[in-house]
Amino acid sequence: MDAFPEASVERTVEWVDTDASGHQHNSAILRWVEAAEAELFRILELPDYFPSAPRVQQVINYKAKLWFGQRVTATVKIHALGRTSLTMAFEVRGQALETPDGGGPGGGATGADGGLSGGSVVAAFGTVTTAHVPSGATSAQPWPEHFVRAVRTVRAIRTERVP
């Protein structure tokens, strides 16, 4: 079985990331995943990935709510490399969110939303699949040799932290 690289980013749930009910908007998850994806391809030194890798499928499973001010970690790992496609698995975890009374949003532990008062919890997980469509092409083409070589060379995990 192939071992593939991964990367993570840490973010804070900002007000703009929330919806009218006070927790993260569904689109925020994908933005954090895309930031981790960008970090991964920076680590792999493959800047030519982005203009030639449109998404062909996204699957997001929502497990728990994330709240304004909460720290989150988004991690992506290359899961499968095909001839013309690439699938990344991802996970977004919420860190413990403490309020002045020691609990989660609204007071008390968040329990039903994943037990955030005692560590981190998976808020969302899934996969993103891209295809290699080079500039000027109208359909998917095989990944270039340098890309395959870089992806198959596992490198150290690096986490980008943003205050």
CATH number at residue 64: 3.10.129.10
Strands 159-161 and 6-12: parallel
The structural domain count of the chain equals: 1
- Confirm whether 30 is domain-assigned: yes
Token reading at 96: 């413990």
Is residue 17 a part of any domain in this protein?
Answer: yes
Has residue 55 been placed in a domain? yes
* 1 is a domain residue: no
pLDDT tens per residue, range 119-157: 789 999 999 999 999 999 999 999 999 999 999 887 645
pTM, rounded to two decimals: 0.83
Residue 21 lies in a domain: yes
Residue 107 domain-assigned?
A: yes
Q: What is the pLDDT of residues 81-100, one digit of tens each?
A: 999 999 999 999 999 876 55
E strand intervals along the chain: 6-12, 55-62, 71-81, 85-94, 121-131, 159-161
Instruction: Give the position of tokens 């720290």.
Output: 71
Identify the domain containing residue 99 by its residue range.
Answer: 6-161
Tokens of 122: 């998976």
